[in-house]
Amino acid sequence: MPSSYDLLLRQGRLLRPNGDLNTVDIGITAGTIAAIAPHLDASAPLELEVEGQLISPPFVESHIHLDSALTAGEPRWNESGTLFEGIEIWRERKQDLSLDDVKRRALETLKQQAMQGVLYVRSHADVSEANLMALQGLLEVREAVKDWITLQVIAFPQDGIYGGPQNEELLEEALKLGADGVGGIPHYELTREDGVRSVQRIFELAQQYDRLIDIHCDEIDDDQSRFLEVVAACAIRTGMGPRVSASHTTAFGSYNNAYALKLLGFLRRTQINFIANPLINITLQGRTDTYPKRRGLTRVKELWQQGMNVSLGHDCVQDPWYSLGTGNMLDVAFMLIHVAQMTGMSEMNACYDMITWNGAKTLHLGETYGIEVGKPANLIVLDACNRYDALRRRATVRYVISRGNLIASTETPQMKWQPLTS
Ligand code: FE2
């Protein structure tokens, strides 16, 4: 007698972690992957024919600011396009924050991402405003969406831990309220010494409260911005490396090669994670250059070649720093291919891995991530035959399955050629 499942996927091309593709049926029951086989003699109330389409683990958004998402143009546009004008505009906009405002925009952005296959998101929450509105809003959203998307919240002191009299206290309060991780912005502290001290304080807090670390590190073109070495030193001394992420590190792209090579050796010892945000890095950085104009991206290719874990994020979706973006991780990886010149086939495949498995490693998701029997049924189906095809065409995510439920489906747009009639 045939088995019965809640949901069946028929004849999709299952992407394995090593890049292999196997044509399989997948049976899902009670939110769990119950069976994977070349053919399942089974039935289900919902059967999806996905022949020839790519079945992939969900996309992972490693770095976004949901508290500022969807505020572009409020109260004004960032005309200079710089990080620092963005910070000024956000400082004005956040005076009007309310819980409802934060939650509404965060939820809308998460829905947009989920519909495009993102089921794991790490968001920073600005904790340098007195009432911690952004943090509280995102913590409430984290709870509200937990049945269909996993949200991680990092307490992020946008104005620096030592940039205001209460910021250090607010950061610690955010951890007490339940933030998943500690953030920082050492290159935006008032002095270099404050920057070093801020990194050390972040590690202390992470150890004290047993949290992850994700530091906005050296997000500037200044080749003398060298807080990544401080992060590396703290990671080596504490042994916390795999729980630590260095976001942006764009100055790494401007370091001289002698220093960069030495630093790479230190970094290999740390096992820290790197998060690049190519959409915004290529638009925000290089703004003070005339020509030649730098790309302002961290050394993604070299980090990847050295075996470091690199994952990717949007950073921003329609906010004072980046007014574009739809939440589609394929756009992010596509931009990386160009900016980091990752155009070899193995390099392009690696870029796909950066928005899936590598992101899962950055977020410390552990064994729950991936498509295997016994794991939670979180997967996506793309209208593509492999990773390269998905990236080249920024393929439509046809189905999104979260916790065993079909939560979104999208029809692939069809182009129709109209022959000229004489
Ligand atoms: Fe950021």
Cis omega (within 30 of 0) for bond into 17: no
Strand pairing category for 212-217 and 244-248: parallel
For residues 140 and 28, state if they share a domain. Answer: no
Distance 278 CA to ligand 1 centre (A): 12
Q: Are the C-beta atoms of 202 and 167 separated by less than 8 Å?
A: no
Catalytic member of 219, 229, 367, 411: 219
Residue 329 to residue 314: CA distance in whole angstroms: 8
What's residue 82's pLDDT?
87
pLDDT at 69: 97
32, part of any domain: yes
In this structure, the answer to whether residues 163 and 30 fall within a common structural domain is no
Are the beta carbons of 110 and 121 closer than 8 angstroms? yes
Q: What is the pLDDT of residue 1?
A: 61
DSSP bridge partners of 36: 26
| Same domain membership, residue 143 and residue 20 | no
Q: What is the DSSP letter of 164?
A: S
CATH number for 349: 3.20.20.140
CA of 174 to the centre of ligand 1 (A): 18
Based on the fold, state whether residues 40 and 69 are members of the same structural domain.
no
Question: Is residue 88 domain-shared with residue 120, that is, in the same domain?
Answer: yes
Cα 314 to ligand 1 centroid, rounded to whole Å: 8
- Centre of ligand 1 to C-alpha 161, Å, is 15
How much is the pLDDT for 176? 98
Tokens of 59: 């996309």
Predicted local confidence at residue 96, as pLDDT:
84
Q: Tally the domains of the chain.
A: 2
- Blockwise average pLDDT, block size 10, the chain, 422 residues: 89 97 98 98 97 98 97 95 89 90 98 98 94 96 98 96 96 98 97 98 98 98 97 98 98 98 96 98 94 97 98 97 97 98 98 98 97 98 98 98 98 94 80
If you measure from the C-alpha of residue 368 to the centroid of ligand 1, how many angstroms do you get, rounded to a whole number?
Answer: 26
- What pLDDT is attached to residue 422? 73
In a domain, 27, yes or no: yes
In a domain, 253, yes or no: yes
- Say how many Å lie between the CA of residue 217 and the centre of ligand 1: 10
* Structural domain containing residue 37: 7-56+370-409
In a domain, 420, yes or no: no
219 is catalytic: yes
Same domain, 357 and 249: yes
Query: Is this structure's pTM higher than 0.85?
Result: yes
CATH at residue 31: 2.30.40.10
Per-residue pLDDT, 83: 84
